[in-house]
Amino acid sequence: MKSLLIILLFLSCNLALAQSIKTVQCKPEKATVYFSGAQIYYSENVNIPVGTSDFAFQGVSPYTDPATIITSGKGDFTILDAQFNTRYPESIEVKPDNPLLIKYKKEIKIKQDSIDELYYQLELIRANKEALVIEKGFLQNNPIIKGTAKKDSLTLVKDALDYYRQRQANIDNEWIKLTRQQDKLTYINTQLTSGIDDLNNMISMVNNGVTKGTAKPVYEILVTVFADVATAASIQFNYYTANASWSPEYDLKATSTDKSLLLVQKAKLVQNTAIDWSNVKLTLSTGNPSLRNVKPTLSPLFVQLVNYQQLEISTISANEKNADEYSTNKGSVNWDDAKLPQFDAKNSSYYTTIQTNMVQVEYSISLAYSIPADGKPHTIVIQKKELNALYAYYCVPKLDKDAFLQARIVDWEDMNLVYGVAKIYFDNSYVGKSNINPTEMDDTLNIDLGRDKTILVERKLIKEKSKTGFVDGMKTVTRSYTFTIRNTKANDINFVLLDQIPLSNQKDVTVTADEINGADLEEQTGMLTWNLKLKSKETKIIKLTYTVKHPGGMQINPLI
């Protein structure tokens, strides 16, 4: 009976050892990217055996937040646990029959055989070159060639010289050909020798128990499951990482001949999660997953009496503002705890206002994108839409004589826009940048399209009508201006001219608008608005006159 128990214990241990961790190589399937951070989703099919099993899903980001891992699945099994894990490669076991050692030694044998063969070929080339040197020396030292032969005729000398020139040329050609072959074989021999050195280094690394290359840690999510019967299943999991973000960007394209405006909403996406996203379905979200999801609660608020007492503190130089010097330097303050106000000091958070949107916008991208983990911005087009725009030119000549084109869009709410920088293109030319700010909560979205130099505006003081006088001890100051607007464009335009009259917050100072030429006057701000329609090549003149009356003994700020 005791022997049977030992056998069963032995079998159970072997069975436990056989249930090793099953490794699954995986890649992201989709990702939800926030302004800061991203939620990455995976789904893998697995075969789950009977009992408890561990699956190691590799191919996850090393910057995974372990507290955010969420798992689910499809199939007849139960998920017991999920955790983030870092696994380091095991060292190679040193054995004489190690496959790597056998492989490296075999490759060394092949290279060494090639080097031996090259040796004989190089020796043959060297021998041939030595023969050419000897033959060349023999020809040069021949008595006929040198002219020292005792029995030489003109014909013999001529034939000898012809033979010398021909053979000399052949020797040079053969020498060059052999040198080329020698250089080529020498290079091959050098490469083979270098290869053997590399293989010997590999063998040394194996013998020292080091894996080939740099041993990098493997990041994985371990999922423990249980099944009553073996089953084919699907395991899904996702996690949050802070190493990704996106920011909105817009292109606005308008033309002078079309009343519509093309809005292209784009996203600049950056991910540095250390894993490449290949053919991933993307969702861009304006949400903030780092915010707490627990509703706030109120604590009791008690009314307390606070006795504020004035403290007389001597002037202390900047170099004397530490606590130690307060107690030692001449002229320092002797603090009395009983006289200190009994309330907590404020910190910077007291002056910080946190604003959050009540609505979370998500842009689901139907196309799959491949985003490498290179930390560089990658552009994704979110949506394009032709918008009906009302164009008007605005000018405040008191501050700037240029006219500014503005597009007013009324059907923008369904686009779910977010604040971002917009590049402006007008008549296929880049004119500058503007901002799209839908948080203003206005029915009309106003978009500035830049300056237009083809509309000429001049604001001029009329000196003969601008005067200063006294009536019954009161001083009157009158200012009069003319505005000249000329439309040099080939089409009619809507033009808005803006100016102002001064305001008074004192009873004995009054301001009168004498001539405003049909402008809309906003009483609370003194703002004047002229809504004009200018035909092509048309010029209009607007007049403005106002009078300020105040006591003669007083001075007022200059009127411009």
Instruction: State pLDDT tens for residues 278-293.
Output: 999 999 998 877 665 5
Q: How far apart are CA 438 and CA 268, in angstroms?
A: 19
Domain boundaries, the chain: 99-207, 456-551
Q: Residues 126-154: pLDDT tens digits? A: 888 887 777 777 666 666 655 655 555 55
Given pLDDT bands bounded at 50, 70 and 90, which one contains residue 158? low
Pairing of strands 378-396, 30-33: unpaired
The confidence score (pLDDT) of residue 52 equals 93
Maximum average pLDDT range among 154-163, 171-180, 390-399: 390-399
Q: Give mean pLDDT, residues 485-491.
A: 92
The confidence score (pLDDT) of residue 304 equals 57
For the domain 456-551, what is the CATH code?
Answer: 2.60.40
Given pLDDT bands bounded at 50, 70 and 90, which one contains residue 420? confident
DSSP for 329-388, please give it: STT-----GGGS--SPPP-GGGG------SS--EEEEEEEEEE-SSS--EEEEEEEEEEE
Name the CA radius of gyration of the chain, rounded.
45
- 397: DSSP letter: T
Q: Report residue 548 as tokens.
A: 């300020």
The confidence score (pLDDT) of residue 157 equals 57
Q: How far apart are CA 190 and CA 103, in angstroms?
A: 21
Whole-number Cα distances in Å, 125 to 179, 180, 302, 473: 8, 10, 105, 123
User: Where in 37-134 does DSSP place strands (E)?
Assistant: 38-48, 51-58, 70-74, 78-87
Q: Residues 354-372: pLDDT tens digits? A: 233 344 788 888 888 999 9
Which residues 6+ apart lie within 8 Å of 450 measured at CB? 404, 405, 424, 426, 431, 432, 434
Given pLDDT bands bounded at 50, 70 and 90, which one contains residue 507? confident
Average pLDDT along the chain:
79
Q: Give mean pLDDT, residues 485-508.
A: 91
Q: What are phi and psi of 112, to 5 degrees?
A: -65, -40
- 411: DSSP letter: S
The confidence score (pLDDT) of residue 558 equals 78
Number of H helices, E strands in the chain: 5, 25
Q: Is 407 exposed, middle or buried (0-12, 13-18, 19+ CB in 10 A)?
A: buried
Closest CA to 239 of 80, 86, 29: 29
* Chain-centroid distance, C-alpha 128: 66
Q: What are phi and psi of 164, to 5 degrees?
A: -65, -45
Residue 284 belongs to what H/E stretch? strand 277-285
Q: Residues 293-320: pLDDT tens digits? A: 566 767 676 665 544 444 344 434 444 4
- Give the residue with greater pLDDT, 98 vs 10: 98
Q: Residues 183-205: pLDDT tens digits? A: 888 888 888 888 888 888 887 77
Q: Give mean pLDDT, residues 53-67.
A: 94
Residue 429 has pLDDT above 70, yes or no: yes
Which residues are registered as beta bridge partners of 468?
A: 477
Which residues 6+ apart lie within 8 Å of 101 measured at CB? 95, 203, 206, 207
The confidence score (pLDDT) of residue 361 equals 80
Residue type, 166: Q
Q: Angle at CA 195, nearest 5°, toward 96 and 108?
A: 35
Percent of the chain clearing pLDDT 70 (strictly above): 75
Q: Of the ranges 67-71, 230-234, 330-334, which one carries the lowest mean pLDDT score?
A: 330-334
